[in-house]
Amino acid sequence: MRNGEVELDLRATTAYHYDLPPELIASAPAEPRDASRLLVVRSDGALEHRTFSEFPALLRSGDVLVINETRVIRARLTGTRESGGFAELLLLRPADRERYDPRARRWLALARPGRRLRRGACVRFGDDGAATIVNVFEDGLREVQLELTVSFEELLERHGEMPLPPYVGPGDEARAARYQTVFARVPGSVAAPTASLHFTERTFADLRERGVIVVPLVLDVGLGTFKPMTAALLDEHEMHSEQYEIPQATADAIGDAHLRGSRVIAAGTTTMRALESAAAADGTVAVGAAETRLFITPGFRFRTVDALLTNFHLPASTLLVLVSAFAGYDVTRRAYEAAITSQYRFYSFGDAMFVGREVPRG
């Protein structure tokens, strides 16, 4: 992230660029999960170097930790075009219903090779069925119609792969399993809530021992989270919708935490976006399912979340902008500079950062 003598325009995408040595991009996860490093950013901006196994010690009795129980599906489907050539569809979400549903037959997808997969083109999955491109949108998304001779789950199992990020590269089943949180329960995502990849059963045992209340929600991670910013200004970036659902027990725990002065901690940016999308002016959150296109940028008024656990994100990404809005631009820049100097590991399989906000809620 740039910082020079000329005052930065924090609405410009270029303000969120930074130079990362390629060797700091994590191509494999830490072993065990909680052996990853943890950069703690205190509310006064001070930095501390820890390991993730120490994360529970940073929380207090009565704090509420909110996790995203989404499960990544084998959404990267490989098939053949009518010419016999290679084709790939990354299924993002059903086109005709709110949330993941294996009964859905119309899906929004990304396609490769895009120039070959135009409207009317067909991708075959052996004897198990086919996908026909029925719509092509300006942003490159396709709407596909599935005609299957097997169940949707069988299609994913036989022809699908875990959609690991490109900087990780192709992985075996063991690596794909590590791209799933230990508490993943509800299928529907095409990317992991990576800040939660560090959690272990021991982490939760330590949290329970400290009196921390852990509650879930679900946000189906899709294009809204990982689509790169290509516009010159933040205000010109289009966020794609993502579906989320907040249970009554989670909303109650958050309301109780606010009443007794305890903190609400979001495990990851996906959890943060769901909570702040559902938040009322008094910090309470609405129960139920909804969709969000929320893009959290500097100046956003946080109403619910007091602290954030997150990984180190790609330059000029909406996730880095979110962290900058929460922690403050200068604090985030110093934290990233310290992480690079101290050889932290970046991106999905990388290390973590725990951030306390400097400004009061509301």
Question: How high is the pLDDT of residue 272?
Answer: 98
**CATH 3.40.1780.10 given to domain 13-71+177-356:** yes
What is the C-alpha separation between 246 and 271, in angstroms, rounded? 10
Closest by Cα among 296, 355, 300 to 331: 355
Cis peptide before 163 (omega within 30 of 0): no
Instruction: Tell how strand 64-68 and strand 213-219 pair up.
Output: parallel
Q: Which residue has the tokens 């072993």?
A: 31
CB proximity list for 74: less than 8 A, separation 6 or greater: 156, 157, 160, 161, 162, 163
pLDDT in tens, 246-285: 999 999 999 999 999 999 999 999 999 999 999 999 999 9
| pLDDT above 90: percentage of residues in the chain | 87
Q: Residue 152 is which amino acid?
A: F
Question: How high is the pLDDT of residue 139?
Answer: 83
Q: Residue 255 is which amino acid?
A: G
Buried residues in 298-311 as b, exposed as e (16+ CB within 10 A) = eeeebbbbbbbbbb
Q: 138 versus 249: which is more confidently predicted?
A: 249
- Stretch 108-116: mean pLDDT, rounded? 92
What is the C-alpha separation between 126 and 159, in angstroms, rounded? 9
pTM: 0.95
* Domain locations in the chain as residue ranges: 13-71+177-356, 75-161
Topology of domain 75-161, CATH: Thrombin, subunit H (2.40.10)
Residue pair 323/315 in contact (Cβ under 8 Å)? The answer is no
Question: How high is the pLDDT of residue 172?
Answer: 73
* Res 143 pLDDT > 50: yes
pLDDT in tens, 61-93: 999 999 999 999 999 999 999 999 999 999 999
pLDDT in tens, 206-222: 999 999 999 999 999 99
What is the C-alpha separation between 96 and 334, in angstroms, rounded? 44
- Stretch 14-21: mean pLDDT, rounded? 97
